[in-house]
Amino acid sequence: MTNPVVVLVGPPGSGKSTVGRMLAERLGVGFRDTDADVEATAGKPIPEIFIDEGEPHFRALEAAAVRAAAEGHDGVLALGGGAVMAEATRALLHELPVVFLEVPLADAVKRVGLDAPRPLLAVNPRARWRELMDARRPLYLEVATAVVDTAGRTPEQVADAVLEAL
């Protein structure tokens, strides 16, 4: 069994994938992203999984993807923003170095919507983002071994801060 060198958690727009890829390159290790793993398993993009099978099915695939990566990946791992809602996932994360990428709404808004569409932010994205963050912030803090503030920072600066926090 191998474990990730670091797991990145945080809301959509916190830069988990961008920073994660950068960190993996700097550390000379692989990068995995549970969103990509779920899409590979399902054979379709996340919005289609939500439409065709519903969010509970997506969450089940996500929890399985986290477990597989937490126990079988020795690089950097980025989790989908809602993965921490699963109690079993939080239990797994308690054993690992986990960095919570904290981000204010204004910064997240600049980033979300620019890449993959997110079903949970399809309508009223700012209000929904706030709701999700209010509900999940305690869960990110529960699993985090370190918190990195990404406000106004470039991905390079965030990656530096994550490396310092490890």
| Chain contacts with ligand S3P (rule: CB under 6 A) | 12, 16, 35, 46, 80-82, 118-120, 132
Q: How far is the CB of 158 from ligand S3P (least distance, A)?
A: 15
| CB nearer to ligand S3P: pick between 96 and 120 | 120
Q: How far is the CB of 81 from ligand S3P (least distance, A)?
A: 3
Q: How far is the CB of 100 from ligand S3P (least distance, A)?
A: 12
Residue 82, C-beta contacts closer than 8 angstroms, at least 6 positions apart: 59, 62, 120, 132, 136
| CB nearer to ligand S3P: pick between 5 and 17 | 17
Task: Give the helix, strand, coil percentages of the chain, each rounded to 5.
Answer: 60, 10, 30
Could you give the CA distance from residue 8 to residue 98 in angstroms, rounded to a whole number?
Answer: 6
| CB nearer to ligand S3P: pick between 120 and 165 | 120
Give SS3 for 78: strand
Q: How far is the CB of 11 from ligand S3P (least distance, A)?
A: 6
| CB nearer to ligand S3P: pick between 1 and 82 | 82
| CB nearer to ligand S3P: pick between 51 and 151 | 51
- Cα angle, residue 129 at apex, residues 88 and 82 outer, rounded to 5°: 15
Eight-state DSSP code of residue 119:
G
Tokens of 98: 């986990």
